[in-house]
Chain A
Amino acid sequence: MDWIFLSELTVNGALTGLLYSLVAIGLVLIYKSSAVPNLAQGALTMLGAYVVLAFSDNLGWPLWVAIPLAVVIMFFVGIGIERVALRRLAGRPIVMILMMTMGLDIFLRGTTLAIWGGSSRSLNLGVSYDPFFVGDMLLSRIHLVGAAVAIAIFIASVLFFRTRMGIRLRAISDDYLASWSVGISVEGGVALSWGLASIVAVATGVIWGEVQGVDQSLSLLLLKGLTVAVLGGLDSILGAIVAGIILGIMESVGSFYLDALVGGGSRDLIVAGVLILTVMIRPHGLFGRHDIERI
């Protein structure tokens, strides 16, 4: 057994997993405040990457201008989506909310591709492609950067949830009726969480755009983000980070052994399997609250 190779798989898997956590954090932010599973997070990620590209590529502006501008724009896109589409569905059956986010996913994806075209484009952050050596292990630099961004977003959100606004959001996620009755603007809080999730989507889009190019496949990150979010517990940001690492390692090590057996492509199978098993065994995930309704 080659221990260095195994540890390389593990560490790289964990780093990739942290990149999945980025998607999951966006999902968790929205689910926490409004119990809406945002199946459009993948499309938002894609849109974020394309908006950054629109400034940096089409207009030729430097990235340090393009990314903050995209963050501002996406923040308002997120708030707009909540205001226009999701708010009037509050209290409707979950099937309609799910269908709404799926419709948004299809709509955002179609619109983005209609505007900017479907061919894959590269988003160059200026991170070198040379591998980074730790002992004998080869690590990818962009994955390290992405993992650092994921951790930074996690820390930022932990700090944010200690501010006055963050406490309001926590109150909303705890009991929105009670928050309403003490004068917290629940609508404002939910809209803010959509804005924040869209900001996270920009970060995700930029990192993943650098990793695999900016195209339609960015929206396929949804399934992995969803699996990470469910495994971590849909309302726990810490859970999203931990579950991302776990899923990344399982995927990377598991697919290494499984690919030899089934002839490739077992990554998606592992992800789907983890999702099914999590829901069957522990629907509230690792760190989620226990009040999920069972039969």
Chain B
Amino acid sequence: MFYRLSGVHHNSYKSDSKMFPVRTDRNAIIFFLLLGLAAPFLIPSLYLNGYVLPWLIWTAAVLGLNLVTGWAGQLHLGYGAVMAVGAYSAVHAAKFGIPWEFALLIGGLASSVIGSLFAFTALRVKGLYLALTTLAMQFVMDWVLTHSPAISGGSHASLQAPTFALLGQDITSDAGLYYVAFGWCVLVTIFMLNLKRTGLGRALVAVREKDFAAAILGVNSFYYKVIAFAASSFIAGITGALLVATFYFLAAPEQFAVHVSIQVLAMVIIGGLGSIIGSYMGAALILLMPGLVNQVFSASADVLGLEIGVETLAHIPNAAYGALIVIFLMVEPLGLGKLYANIRDYLMVWPFDQHKK
């Protein structure tokens, strides 16, 4: 139907290392890229900047966490803290008068440095204990942010971001901000798409699968863990800075608190570990779900004539968000990316599905 291949076969190393083994995937990506470029002309700016822009920025964050959790297999529950480092350093740098291009870089590098500290715990422990340490580090970072007015910006604990500007041009229009987010998300996606074709990506996967075995093959697992944490933190830092610069417009500690770390991890898991298309879908699902559930509940309450209290209505999205995570892990632990792959693999040989699984 959509696919003119019957399964993916390779006859050469060159074809094996192609970015898109299925041509339809590449065409779909080109289509969505054009759609993304045309989005400001197609979507009302309220939806564009209220839904699409945060979705793209969170997707970049999810891809960054996927690098360390999905590719390198290291649990990370302190991703919000790393984003906070980038956001605060970039905003402070921009306030200091440094152009935004360099402020973003400073944010990314600062995040890399702090994020590599997380890697030093990964040197010592892994699995559950790594998760607990990164969680504790997240709490330390929350504490530092809320208790140091010099960083968080005075008694109100909010820091106004200066007007975003690139190459000397102030970017204030809705479409302009959208293109910034879009460009960053595309950059991160291209990086991640290429990562699995490089030696670095293969080394990370080797470390994830079994670090002893990787070490025997000559892969220095500690080195690659630090690389993974540093690279993912760099992405996190710039993403955090862009989130403040183009969406929140002011930085506050609770934007990067522990629930944010859990949310990004939930996006990674629901999207599928190590899946790029899944990262997009996971971020979209988790971001859109609370609003949708609220609308469904208030609409059905209207229809049925039920009185739902304000407090109940306020907490239902949370319950649904938890339920979503639980149900996903029960039904399809490998996430939306795996669902997509299943459908694609089915359609690829349809209607001549010879081997039943």
Residues of A within 8 A of B (CB): 37, 84-85, 88-89, 92, 94-96, 98-100, 102-111, 113-115, 117-119, 223, 226-227, 230, 262-265, 268-269, 271-273, 275-276, 279-280, 283, 292-295
Q: Is the CB of B266 within 8 A of A99?
A: yes
Residues of B186-222 at the interface with A, using a CB-CB cut-off of 8 Å, are 211, 221
Contacts of B309 in A (CB 8 A): 117
Q: Is the CB of B315 within 8 A of A283?
A: no
Q: Which residue of B lies closest to A274 (CB)?
A: B136
Please name 20 pairs of A and B residues whose Cβ atoms are closer than 8 Å in the assembled complex, sorted by A. A37-B132, A89-B330, A95-B273, A102-B266, A104-B326, A106-B322, A106-B325, A107-B323, A109-B319, A110-B316, A110-B317, A114-B319, A262-B147, A269-B140, A272-B137, A273-B136, A275-B136, A280-B124, A295-B124, A295-B126
Main secondary structure of the interface of B (DSSP, over half): helix
- Tell me the minimal C-beta distance from A147 to chain B in angstroms: 26
Q: Is the CB of B129 within 8 A of A98?
A: no
Q: Any chain A CB within 8 A of the CB of B339?
A: no
What is the size category of the interface that chain B forms with chain A? Answer: 35 or more
Contacts of B124 in A (CB 8 A): 279-280, 283, 294-295
- Tell me the minimal C-beta distance from B290 to chain A in angstroms: 10
- With A279-B129, A294-B124 given, is the CB distance from A98 to B75 under 8 Å? yes
Q: Is the CB of B125 within 8 A of A283?
A: yes
- Known A37-B131, A95-B69; further 15 A-B contacts with Cβ < 8 A: A88-B330, A94-B128, A95-B131, A99-B266, A99-B269, A99-B329, A102-B262, A103-B323, A104-B326, A109-B319, A114-B318, A272-B137, A272-B143, A275-B135, A279-B132
- Tell me the minimal C-beta distance from B25 to chain A in angstroms: 26
Contacts of B129 in A (CB 8 A): 230, 279, 283, 292
Residues of B within 8 A of A (CB): 69, 75, 121-129, 131-133, 135-137, 139-140, 143, 146-147, 211, 221, 262, 265-266, 269, 273, 309, 311-312, 314-326, 329-330, 333
- With A96-B333, A109-B318, A265-B147 given, is the CB distance from A37 to B140 under 8 Å? no
Contacts of A264 in B (CB 8 A): 147
Give complex CA distance A283, B330 in Å.
30
Give complex CA distance A292, B312 in Å.
43
Give complex CA distance A117, B131 in Å.
31
Give complex CA distance A273, B133 in Å.
9
Q: Is the CB of A269 within 8 A of B325?
A: no
